[in-house]
């Protein structure tokens, strides 16, 4: 098949994006037709409570290649991506946010590298426009810590904005983790990977759908999926605590001090450390417990615009 005839899928997770989704569709439709002869836009609605789905459905009257997967509730950004790439039919699949923070102008570079033989082309953020200092700083620290402690190579400053070849999508579609950390899994599956650098744009409309609680959860999923360093850390802290306790005991024995304040603060520090250790173990244990339930990762309430020739999913309900 000639390159120009290949199908490009664009997957966009959507959660309460009524303020900007119409513009996103307009911009993408205008842009992508010059990049690929065949394309599909797959919107995964992650349990929006606003008019997002209605707006996307309406745009199906105007554009032929818009498809929608509607979750039964909010399952989270990472699972919305997971579902979207499973439903995608493309020879290459591009994942990007629905708020245009990942600029479509990067897509030609991604396609060029894919056509040159790369299987994964991830977007590497040079700067992040319009985000709080707190978010920029915590993200910077997270990616650097992650790189040091994880068992796989996760590139610095990359989100989920990336192009993946069909081979990669097929490999990813087989993974069934209940709380996937998609960018880690893409590194895990391997293949020939490269990056394109880009400047992350300001959100054009609406608010972020990633409050601190969701950011912490994502970070925790990333760490517990790809690193055992926190577990090892408990051993080190425990060993050091015992040593300090022994040294302190000897000092007490020889000098016969009774420093109550020191003993009380040591008690707080040690019991805090024990609780923290239990919490860390609990996080890992919860992942195992969650996986042992073998529930489906998400529930699709409806899908619109899909034909029966999907490569990955059979018997998709279409309306």
Q: Answer left, alpha or beta for residue 211, where phi above 0 means left and psi between -120 and 50 means alpha.
A: beta
11 binds ligand UDP (CB under 6 A): no
What CA–CA distance (Å, rounded) separates 83 from 88? 9
- Residue 128 contacts which entry, ligand UDP, Mg ion, none (Cβ below 5-8 A, type-dependent): none
101 binds Mg ion (CB under 5 A): yes
H-helix or E-strand containing 194? strand 193-200
179 binds ligand UDP (CB under 6 A): no
99 binds Mg ion (CB under 5 A): yes
* # of chain residues touching ligand UDP (CB under 6 A): 16
157 binds ligand UDP (CB under 6 A): no
253: Cβ–Cβ under 8 A, 6 or more apart, which residues?
none
Going by the DSSP 8-state scheme, the letter that residue 313 receives in this structure is -
169 binds ligand UDP (CB under 6 A): no
Across the chain, which distance is largest between two alpha carbons, in Å?
A: 86
Measured from each CB, the residue nearest to Mg ion is 101
46 binds Mg ion (CB under 5 A): no
Could you tell me which stretch among 44-52, 98-106, 124-132, 147-155 binds Mg ion (CB under 5 A)?
Answer: 98-106
Residue among 152, 32, 46 at smallest CA distance from 92: 32
Residue among 47, 54, 49 at smallest CA distance from 21: 54
Can you tell me which of 28, 41, 76, 93 binds ligand UDP, judged by CB under 6 A?
Answer: 76
Can you tell me which of 9, 11, 17, 168 binds ligand UDP, judged by CB under 6 A?
Answer: 17
| Contact assessment for residue 306 and residue 90, using Cβ atoms and an 8 Å cutoff | no
Stretch 209-228 residues interacting with ligand UDP (CB under 6 A): 209-210
Q: How far is CA 317 from CA 87, 154, 311, 314, in A?
A: 12, 36, 15, 9
Task: Tell me how far, at minimum, the Cβ of 131 lies from Mg ion, in Å.
Answer: 9
Which DSSP string do the residues of 115-131 spell out, in sequence order?
HTT-SEEEEEEEEETT-
- Residue 92 contacts which entry, ligand UDP, Mg ion, none (Cβ below 5-8 A, type-dependent): none
Can you tell me which of 38, 109, 201, 208 binds ligand UDP, judged by CB under 6 A?
Answer: 208
Task: Tell me how far, at minimum, the Cβ of 262 lies from ligand UDP, in Å.
Answer: 45
Q: Which residues bind ligand UDP (CB under 6 A)?
A: 13-15, 17, 46, 74, 76-77, 80, 97-99, 101, 208-210
Q: Which residues bind Mg ion (CB under 5 A)?
A: 97, 99, 101
């Amino acid at each position: 098949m000639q390159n120009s005839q290949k199908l490009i899928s664009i997957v966009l997770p959507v959660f309460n994006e009524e303020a900007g989704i119409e513009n996103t569709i307009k911009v993408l439709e205008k842009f992508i037709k010059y990049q690929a002869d065949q394309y599909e836009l797959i919107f995964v609605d992650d349990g929006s409570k606003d008019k997002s789905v209605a707006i996307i459905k309406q745009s199906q009257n105007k554009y032929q290649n818009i498809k929608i997967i509607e979750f039964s509730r909010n399952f989270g950004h990472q699972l919305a991506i997971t579902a979207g790439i499973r439903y995608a039919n493309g020879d290459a699949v591009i994942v990007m946010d629905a708020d245009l923070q990942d600029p479509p102008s990067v897509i030609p570079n991604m396609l060029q590298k894919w056509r040159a033989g790369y299987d994964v082309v991830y977007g590497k953020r040079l700067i992040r426009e319009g985000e709080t200092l707190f978010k920029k700083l915590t993200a910077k620290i997270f990616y650097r810590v992650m790189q040091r402690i994880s068992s796989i190579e996760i590139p610095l400053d990359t989100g989920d904005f990336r192009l993946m070849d069909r081979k990669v999508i097929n490999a990813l579609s087989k993974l069934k983790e209940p709380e996937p950390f998609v960018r880690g899994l893409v590194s895990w599956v391997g293949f020939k990977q490269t990056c394109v650098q880009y400047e992350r744009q300001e959100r054009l409309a609406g608010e972020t759908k990633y409050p601190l609680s969701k950011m912490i959860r994502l970070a925790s999923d990333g760490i517990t999926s790809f690193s055992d360093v926190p577990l090892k850390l408990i051993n080190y802290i425990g060993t050091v605590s015992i040593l300090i306790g022994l040294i302190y005991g000897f000092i007490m024995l020889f000098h016969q001090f009774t420093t109550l304040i020191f003993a009380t603060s040591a008690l707080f520090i040690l019991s805090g450390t024990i609780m923290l250790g239990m919490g860390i173990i609990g996080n890992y244990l919860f992942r195992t417990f969650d996986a042992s339930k073998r529930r489906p990762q998400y529930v699709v309430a409806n899908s619109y615009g899909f034909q029966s020739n999907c490569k990955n999913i059979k018997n998709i309900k279409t309306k």
